């Protein structure tokens, strides 16, 4: 694959779609082992906009009843995190007394995870689980346990498969890394 340009940056290939899809199937298998046959209906909480592709692919492989709920949080401007999490869209359903599987595209510092966990506790969620497509373990500063992780990656700026650079690149089936990084 060749390099691509998005806005003012150049990106090089990083993770091909075939590897992403296989990792998602493996996470779905773990979720199926833990939730198949459960009496309640857990909530899959898709953190928009980034986790929409991951959530969609993940749901195709789940073998237990679940309810899809969405919210939109933001903490990035360009290629940098602001360190502050803003709720751009409220939860689309009540989580009180429910088990909630938070579905994230990527976890780096953990700022967003801490914020959504706090919101869910305040709204009465029974129990929460964290499921992420990508985890930047070396950048993670939070204490919340990551329950389900498709892939661990280095602390690099990436886009594709739902991840964006100033709202572009989400539609790419592969994941691309900023060219100036190794």
DSSP 8-state symbol, 161: T
Q: What is the CA radius of gyration of the chain?
A: 16
Six-digit token pair at 89? 């869209």
Please, are residues 119 and 47 in contact by the beta-carbon 8 Å criterion? no
Q: Determine the Cα–Cα distance for residues 40 and 116; give it in Å rounded to an integer.
A: 22
Cis peptide before 133 (omega within 30 of 0): no
Q: Which of 8, 34, 108, 164 is catalytic?
A: 108
Beta bridge partners of 100: 43, 128
Please, are residues 172 and 16 in contact by the beta-carbon 8 Å criterion? no
Is 179 assigned a catalytic role?
no
Active-site positions?
A: 108
């Amino acid at each position: 694959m060749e390099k691509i340009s998005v806005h003012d940056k150049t990106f090089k290939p990083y993770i091909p779609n075939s590897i992403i899809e296989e990792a998602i199937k493996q996470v779905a298998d773990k979720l199926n082992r833990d939730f198949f046959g459960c009496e309640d209906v857990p909530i899959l909480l898709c953190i928009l906009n980034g986790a929409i592709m991951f959530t969609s692919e993940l749901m195709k492989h789940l073998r237990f009843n679940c309810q899809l709920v969405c919210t939109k949080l933001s903490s990035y401007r360009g290629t940098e995190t602001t360190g502050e999490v803003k709720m751009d869209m409220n939860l689309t359903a009540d989580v009180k007394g429910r088990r909630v599987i938070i579905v994230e595209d990527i976890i780096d510092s953990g700022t967003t995870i801490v914020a959504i966990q706090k919101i869910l506790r305040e709204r009465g969620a029974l129990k929460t689980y964290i499921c992420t497509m990508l985890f930047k373990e070396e950048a993670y500063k939070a204490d919340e346990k990551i329950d389900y992780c498709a892939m661990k990656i280095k602390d690099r700026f990436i886009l594709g498969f739902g991840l964006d650079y100033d709202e572009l690149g989400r539609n790419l089936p592969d994941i691309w890394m900023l060219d100036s990084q190794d």
